[in-house]
Chains A and B, each alone.
Chain A
Amino acid sequence: MADDIFSVPVFLVVFRESLEAVIVVSILLAFLKQTLDGPNGDKTAYKKLVRQVWLGTALGLLICLIIGGALIGVFYTIGVNKWELSENNYEGAFCLIASVIITFVGAALLRIGKMQEKWRVKLAASLETPLSMTGPAGRWSAVKRFFEKYAMFGLPFVTVLREGIEAIVFVAGVSFQAPAKSVPLPVVVGLLVGLAVGYMLYRGGSSTRLQIFLVVSTCLLYLVAAGLFSRAVWAFEAQRWSTTIGGDAAEIGNGPGSYDIDNSVWHVNCCSPELNGGGGWGFFKAILGWTNSATYGSVISYNVYWIFVILGFLALRYREVKGHWPLMATPEPQEVVLTTEDAGVKGLQK
């Protein structure tokens, strides 16, 4: 399973976005079930609203697919050549973006319960808000009324659309410097795994196994992110070097001149993840950030990334245990007394 048929970042992003969408949809469905499907519920309204949820989801998905198709079409008709001159800069930027996304997504995955909570709070808030508004008349109020009426359509629609477009933009970004054939498989697998995990969450399935799965996959995610971060720095340096030697360093291949000797930490004339599809080394590159030509920048950034991640998690954990960030004063316990709706909503929405 080399890099050229299975792009790990694509998989992770699709997985994450589909998981989030599934969570939203599942929360809404559960919510409707609880409120309306009871013995004293309104069966008609329930069915109508469930249909809205599914309709919103489906429509969101459809628009995503259209946008995705269009985007891919644009990418492959305009052609990658347009970016070739500063190819490394693009690669660097996308690696950096991917690394940042994964870094923050990863932390959220480890507290997937919190993700559910967040959505519950958000959904609750957005379901609540329209009611508390006494909107002015005019066009806006018409829009608002529409969304009030079709909240159960709008929420999944917007969520799926947003997550979907996020995924597409990212996948497009990754795929345009990776071979096209490396995209479909991770997209499909990511979707399926996202749906599966979402469903497990919904069903409350085997939780320990799910936790192990999440922790292992998140560890993998961070390995990938560290590699991507290092590779971003590497790519920026490679672009600079390519400019220095007045051409494309990749044309020189693997040997002398393909790298800046004064900036090189190691360079082995083998094991290149770039040439000839990279083979097994391409896989190492995707998972572990391996390069056969490491620079000071790439090595230092790799280590700095891990230091940042380690400190970040220590701080997160510290906050969970102590209730405040390290090195900061203990905050006054913030007791929000929910005597009115407004206080409650504002407090939760921050």
Chain B
Amino acid sequence: MASTRALWILAFVTLFATTSLTNAATITYDFDISWVTANPDGLANRPTIGINGQWPIPRIEADVGDRIIVNVVNSLGNQSTSLHFHGLFMNGSTHMDGPSQTTQCPIPPGGRFTYNFTIEQPGTYWYHSHTHGQYPDGLRGPLIVRDPENPFKEMYDEELVLTVSDWYHDQMPGLLSFFMSKANPTGAEPVPNSALLNETQDLKIAVQAGKTYLFRMINIGAFAGQYVWFEGHNMTILEVDGVYTQPAVASMIYLSAAQRCSFLITAKENSSTNFPIVASMDTDLFDKLPDDLNWNVTGWLEYDSKAPYPTPKVLDQPFEPFDDMKLASWDTQALLGEPDQVVTLNVIMDNLGDGANYAFFNNITYTSPKVPTLYTALTAGELASEAAVYGEYTHSFVLERGQVVELVVNNLDSGKHPFHLHGHNFQAVWRSEEEAGTFGDSNVTSEEFTKIPMRRDTIVLFPEGNIVLRFKADNPGVWLFHCHIEWHVQSGLMATFVEAPLDLQKTLQIPDDHYAACKASGIPTEGNAAANTVNLLDLSGQNTPPGPLPTGFTTRGIVALVFSCISGILGVAVVAWYGFADVGDDKSSPVSVSRVAAKGVYEQPAASLGEDSVSAPGVGNVGADRDEISAVGGGSGKPVSA
């Protein structure tokens, strides 16, 4: 499979190689998105979303400055889709960013849609579906932007792309409906069935002794962060998320879902063996570890295909991955100045009225608006500067052009969350340890912020810790900020930044095929989040999440309780009434025994048994029954012979 893909890419590369060397090229991809069958871990065949009948899907490659045109046909038949080009700024083309109901309508089955944008950033990216938690079903692949002015290009001989990912045997729609159900009240994310390297296992990467390779590594998984190490080799980190860094040597790195890292691996001068490459899923994320789960995936640096492929050594110490906060950007961009706007988001998990577990920024769980947020920004006129028109549940913040924005995220949850910002790299100026509490309570001042901070577009927030990010609002558009664990995207851990909406109104032209996708699905393209075009501040009818769980007695409960009390009291009354009733005229005895007949037959009737000492006279008026008892004695009781 890898070889066919390589050929396929080679075809494109050779096609445009000549032009791209001289000036900016236009690279066109025709992507027919459809179902194929795949079995990358050898454990289960499953329907997988491929492109042009292939999976893994093709790599998108370009040079800095190239224009990319992707003509999409959705041939899935049963699902709508969209493509997000992860990490690209989409400057001037926010409508090509891809998230459904944010910058476009989902491409319906049978629909056609063209993405058209230029790339100004070098580095390692990826593209994936941004609709309905779809990409883990296969629609995820690398996007590599080569840089003729790469400052490190003299340091390596060859480039290799290496993806790491998690893999489910079940399709996302079923997993999601379980995940977001009352049957999963703790919000336990489905645990992957396997880990993959380059969407396969037992990958062999041929290397030549003494050569240095640039590995562009991407975690294209849905959920699991991965620890990655190369036995016997150190990594020299040169780039994270498309940003060149000062070279830094690491023996192990951690890549969360959506993070990328480029690093150099220098092959040994001579080696009689091959070396394992190990990616190990971060099992801290999993609520439970199924017995049959192998959370590691192994590949090899293949020095000699005849040499042994040893199994990886078991680590005798806890994972100690390189701390990415120690990285500094290559361009030494200084810490942005004091912010013009501070946005504080607290990460909370809680259950709503349908019993399912939702994720919240502050008190809001993201719910898609009726009108894609970008279209609201374009049609709301002056009111586009009011966050209210985007609806309460898109959790929108309007940014003015040029503002320095500080984003403080406090994790009140006990899980790790890799947060991703669309349309920007942010400066990661502060990250606390685990369980440090909120930033506000921590007494950390901007004096302690990193002076030359690392920039990236996806960063891990530690359990019950906090992060502080800064970025400059220099890219008009509508940009999501969300946890890149796909489960949490669905459970609502997402906010929206609407950046310079009035500028967008002046500059942006939405192509007809974008509107056609909306029309085909009956999605409105004008008005506020509730599709109200007359009074834009009237959000009645907007999409809302389920209400909160009832905290105590509802009307229903009170009625039930009152009824139960009445039945109880009534019942006790009846029992008491029966208990005190006079049983003197009890006619219920099935047999009324005639004493007369027995009279005289027995000399000493055992009647005395009942008459004199045993019965409790008066208790339930037992006395009244005494006659019958006497008769019993008389009728049946011959004097007992000892």
Residues of A within 8 A of B (CB): 26-27, 30-31, 33-36, 42, 45, 48-49, 106, 110-114, 116-117, 120-121, 124-125, 127-128, 131, 151, 200-202, 204-205, 207-208, 210-211, 214-215, 218-219, 222-223, 226, 244-246, 252, 255-258, 260-262, 265-269, 288, 294, 299, 302-303, 306-307, 309-310, 313-314, 316-317, 319-323, 333-339, 341, 343-345, 347-348, 350
The 8 Å CB contact of B622, one of A34, A113, A205, is: A113
Are B606 and A124 closer than 8 Å at their CB atoms?
yes
In whole angstroms, how far apart are the Cα atoms of A93 and B113 in the complex?
A: 61
In whole angstroms, how far apart are the Cα atoms of A35 and B611 in the complex?
A: 13
In whole angstroms, how far apart are the Cα atoms of A223 and B616 in the complex?
A: 27
The 8 Å CB contact of A313, one of B564, B575, B606, is: B575
CB contact under 8 A between A113 and B615, given known A222-B571, A321-B585, A334-B590: yes
Residue of A nearest to B584 (CB): A320
CB distance from B19 to the nearest CB of A (A): 57
The 8 Å CB contact of A323, one of B184, B576, B587, B610, is: B587
In whole angstroms, how far apart are the Cα atoms of A38 and B617 in the complex?
A: 22
Are A321 and B564 closer than 8 Å at their CB atoms?
no
Residue of A nearest to B564 (CB): A302
CB contact under 8 A between A207 and B617, given known A49-B642, A306-B568: yes
The 8 Å CB contact of B182, one of A35, A261, A267, A343, is: A261
Are A106 and B575 closer than 8 Å at their CB atoms?
yes
The 8 Å CB contact of B636, one of A31, A116, A341, is: A341
Are A202 and B614 closer than 8 Å at their CB atoms?
yes
Are A319 and B588 closer than 8 Å at their CB atoms?
yes
Interface residues on chain B, size class: 35 or more
Are B592 and A334 closer than 8 Å at their CB atoms?
yes
Residue of A nearest to B554 (CB): A266
A selection of 10 A-B contacts at a CB cut-off of 8 Å is: A45-B642, A128-B636, A151-B640, A210-B619, A214-B619, A256-B185, A257-B186, A257-B357, A261-B182, A348-B635
Are A317 and B581 closer than 8 Å at their CB atoms?
yes
CB contact under 8 A between A113 and B619, given known A257-B185, A348-B635: yes
CB contact under 8 A between A207 and B618, given known A223-B572, A267-B550, A302-B564: yes
Residue of B nearest to A203 (CB): B616
Are B597 and A262 closer than 8 Å at their CB atoms?
no
Are A262 and B182 closer than 8 Å at their CB atoms?
yes
- Determine chain A's interface SS by DSSP, over half rule: helix
CB contact under 8 A between A219 and B622, given known A111-B583, A124-B633, A257-B355: no
Residues of A within 8 A of B551 (CB): 268-269
CB distance from A248 to the nearest CB of B (A): 12
Residue of A nearest to B550 (CB): A267
Q: Does B291 sit within 8 A of A, measured CB to CB?
A: no
Are B578 and A110 closer than 8 Å at their CB atoms?
yes
Q: Does B549 sit within 8 A of A, measured CB to CB?
A: yes
Are B614 and A27 closer than 8 Å at their CB atoms?
yes
In whole angstroms, how far apart are the Cα atoms of A17 and B202 in the complex?
A: 72
Residues of B49-99 contacting chain A, CB below 8 A: none
The 8 Å CB contact of B625, one of A117, A205, A210, A261, is: A117
6 smallest beta-carbon distances between A and B, as pairs = A257-B185, A266-B557, A113-B622, A207-B618, A323-B587, A256-B351
Residues of B554-613 contacting chain A, CB below 8 A: 554, 556-558, 560-561, 563-564, 567-568, 570-572, 574-581, 583, 585-588, 590-594, 597-598, 601, 604, 606, 608-610, 612-613
In whole angstroms, how far apart are the Cα atoms of A230 and B634 in the complex?
A: 46
The 8 Å CB contact of B553, one of A31, A128, A268, A321, is: A268
Q: Which of B575, B594, B598 has the most CB atoms of chain A within a 10 A radius of its CB?
A: B575
CB distance from B428 to the nearest CB of A (A): 34
Q: Which of A113, A262, A306, A319 has the most CB atoms of chain B within a 10 A radius of its CB?
A: A113
CB contact under 8 A between A299 and B564, given known A113-B622, A314-B574, A338-B598: yes
Residues of B within 8 A of A31 (CB): 606, 609, 614, 640
Residue of B nearest to A113 (CB): B622
Q: Does B354 sit within 8 A of A, measured CB to CB?
A: yes
Residues of A within 8 A of B629 (CB): 117, 120-121
Contacts A35-B640, A207-B617 known; 7 new A-B pairs at CB < 8 A: A113-B620, A120-B629, A120-B632, A211-B619, A267-B549, A309-B575, A319-B587
Q: How many A-B residue pairs have CB under 8 A?
A: 264
Residues of B within 8 A of A (CB): 182-186, 350-351, 353-355, 357, 549-554, 556-558, 560-561, 563-564, 567-568, 570-572, 574-581, 583, 585-588, 590-594, 597-598, 601, 604, 606, 608-610, 612-622, 625, 628-629, 631-642
CB distance from A36 to the nearest CB of B (A): 7
In whole angstroms, how far apart are the Cα atoms of A303 and B561 in the complex?
A: 10
Are A261 and B549 closer than 8 Å at their CB atoms?
yes
Residues of A within 8 A of B564 (CB): 299, 302-303
CB distance from B509 to the nearest CB of A (A): 47
Residues of A within 8 A of B182 (CB): 257, 260-262
Residues of A within 8 A of B580 (CB): 211, 215
Residues of B within 8 A of A313 (CB): 574-575, 577-578
CB distance from A313 to the nearest CB of B (A): 4
In whole angstroms, how far apart are the Cα atoms of A111 and B516 in the complex?
A: 82
In whole angstroms, how far apart are the Cα atoms of A98 and B410 in the complex?
A: 52
Are B557 and A204 closer than 8 Å at their CB atoms?
no
Are A320 and B588 closer than 8 Å at their CB atoms?
yes
Are B575 and A222 closer than 8 Å at their CB atoms?
yes
CB contact under 8 A between A306 and B185, given known A117-B625, A269-B551, A320-B588: no
Residue of A nearest to B183 (CB): A244
Residue of B nearest to A230 (CB): B564
CB distance from A213 to the nearest CB of B (A): 10
The 8 Å CB contact of B632, one of A33, A256, A348, is: A348
Are A260 and B614 closer than 8 Å at their CB atoms?
no
Are B354 and A261 closer than 8 Å at their CB atoms?
yes
CB distance from B39 to the nearest CB of A (A): 27
Residues of B within 8 A of A255 (CB): 351
CB distance from A255 to the nearest CB of B (A): 8
In whole angstroms, how far apart are the Cα atoms of A260 and B620 in the complex?
A: 47
CB distance from B289 to the nearest CB of A (A): 14
Are B588 and A120 closer than 8 Å at their CB atoms?
no
